[in-house]
Amino acid sequence: MKNYDAIVIGGGPGGIAAAYDLKEQNKSVAVIEADLWGGTCPNRGCDPKKILMSAVEAKARVEKLNGKGFNTSPEIHWEELMKFKRSYTESVPSNTKKGFEDAEIDTFEGQAEFIDAHTIEVADERLSAKQFLIATGQRPAILPIEGQEYLQTSTDFLNLDNLPERIAFIGAGYIAFELATIANAAGAEVHVIQHNDQPLKGFDKELAMNLTDHLKNKGITFHFNVDVAKVEPLDPGYRLSADNFELITDMVVAAAGRVPNIETLKLDKAGVTYSKRGIPVDEHLRTNQSHIFACGDVLEKAYPKLTPVSGFEASYVVNAMNGETEPIHYPLIPSLVFGDQKLARIGLSEKELSEHPEKYHSETMELGSWFTYFRINDQEAKIKLVYDDQKKIVAITCFSELADELINYFNLILEKKVSHEELADFIFAYPTPASDLEYFI
C-alpha cells in the first residue's frame, strides 16, 4: 500500500491548485480523478461555454451596428464553432495529467472509495495518507420526473455535433440563460421553462427581467409557472407536458441545478458528515474529521460555487493543512451571466437586501447615452447601485455588453474601499468602462 502526506480526490481546478502547492512544500502527493482530468470548467463548463459564446458576442456586436456601418447579420456555423471548441477541450485531460507527472505528483484514475478515515481504494489499489482533500465538484441534476431518461444536460449541449432545430431548457438559472442564448444565436428555436415566475434567482429582479425581455426580443420563448411533469419520446422529438401545457421539441436539457459528487466516496466509512447539499466544513474548511478537508463545489455552503472560488479555497486549504489558525475570509465574489448582453452583480446578496429593505435604497442609471455605450450602440445598458443608510454602496448590478469588465473594476473598488477622491487621482484610458468609474463612486 502506498503512503502519502496528502491525497487530493478530484483533478479539477481546486484539486489542481492544491496539489501543486502541496508539492512545492516537498510533500508526497497523489491526485485521483474519476472522470476527465482538469475537471468540469475546462472540459465541459466555463471554458467551452465561453468559446461558444464568443461567436454569439461577435454576431451581436455586428447586429447592433446594422444600419450604422453594417447591413448584414453573421451566421454561426455550428460545426465549425464546435471544431474550434474541441481544439481547446480535447487536449485538456492529457495536458493536465502530464503537468502532474512532470511535477512528480502521482496520479490515479478511477472512483475513490474510503476504506477508513486514513485509507482509500481506487482501481483495486489501496492508498493511505496523513491528510485528504475532497474536491470532487458537482454535476448537473436530473429532475425526478416521468421520462427523466430522455433529459440531457449542459454536458451534452456543449458537445453537440449538430444543433437541433428545437431545444427546450428546464430551469431559468444562469446555465439555462447562457446555453439558451448560444442556441438561439446559432439558429435554434429555443424555449426556457421555469416552475415559478422568478428567473435568475440571486440577481436583482428588475435587471434580471431586463435580460429576460432582451432574450424574448431575440426570439427565445419563456414559459413561467410551468412545472414539467412528463417527457415522452416521439418520432422524431419529445413531448413535454404539465397542467395545461404541452411542448414538442427535439432536445430537452435539464438545467435546474447541480448536485455534489459524493455518493460513491463512501464517506460513512471515513466518518465524514455530509448531506444531499454537499459536505459541511468548519471555518478552516475541515470536515468533522480534522485531517480531511474539502473545497470547491462539493461543499455545503452559501458562497457561490464558481471556479475562481474553488481555487481560492484550495490555496487556503494548503495553509490550513500546515496549521493555519486564521479562519478563511472570503473577499467579494462577483456573479455573472454571460451573453451578448451580460448581467453581473457584486456585494450583499439579494436575499440579505430583501430581508431588510428598510436599511437600503437603490438608484438605477440608464447608460445607453454614455459615450462608452453609445459607440457600440448598447442602448439597453443599465447599472443599479444599492446604498445603506450611511450612503455606502453595498451592492452593484450591471446589465450591458460590457458588464463583465465593469464588475471586475467594482470588485477592486469595493474590496479595497477606494473613494471617489482616490479614483479621481487616476487617469484611465478613454473612452473605456474604467474612465467612467468616478461617476459611479
**193 carries a ligand binding annotation:** no
Under a CB-based contact definition with an 8 Å cutoff, are residues 93 and 36 in contact?
Answer: yes
Q: How far apart are CA 435 and CA 423, in angstroms?
A: 10
User: How buried is 389 (Cβ within 10 angstroms: 0-12 exposed, 13-18 middle, 19+ buried)?
Assistant: exposed
Cell triple for residue 24?
512545492
**257 carries a ligand binding annotation:** yes
**178 carries a ligand binding annotation:** yes
**201 carries a ligand binding annotation:** no
Q: How far apart are CA 177 and CA 203, in angstroms?
A: 13
Looking at residue 288, what DSSP letter applies?
S
**278 carries a ligand binding annotation:** no
The CA-based angle 353-354-356, given to 5 degrees, is 70
Cell triple for residue 387?
446604498
**173 carries a ligand binding annotation:** yes
**296 carries a ligand binding annotation:** no
Cell triple for residue 230?
412528463
Under a CB-based contact definition with an 8 Å cutoff, are residues 291 and 131 in contact?
Answer: yes
Looking at residue 3, what DSSP letter applies?
E
Under a CB-based contact definition with an 8 Å cutoff, are residues 133 and 286 in contact?
Answer: no
Q: How far apart are CA 207 and CA 344, in angstroms?
A: 10
The CA-based angle 186-337-418, given to 5 degrees, is 140
**175 carries a ligand binding annotation:** yes
Q: How far apart are CA 397 and CA 346, in angstroms?
A: 7
Q: In sequence order, what are the residues at sequence separation of 6 or more whose Cβ sits closer than 8 angstroms to the Cβ of residue 19?
A: 8, 29, 31, 100, 103, 105
**430 carries a ligand binding annotation:** no
Q: Which backbone phi and psi does 294 adopt, to 5 degrees?
A: -145, 150
Half-sphere exposure of 351 (CA within 13 A, CB side): 5
Cell triple for residue 263?
455518493
- Going from the C-alpha of 399 to that of each of 157, 212, 284, 344, the distances in angstroms are 26, 11, 35, 7
Beta-strand relationship, 230-233 and 238-242: antiparallel
Beta-strand relationship, 138-140 and 258-260: antiparallel
Under a CB-based contact definition with an 8 Å cutoff, are residues 254 and 143 in contact?
Answer: yes
Q: How far apart are CA 16 and CA 387, in angstroms?
A: 39
Binding residues: 50, 171-178, 257, 297
Binding residues for FAD: 50, 297
Binding residues for NAD(+): 171-178, 257
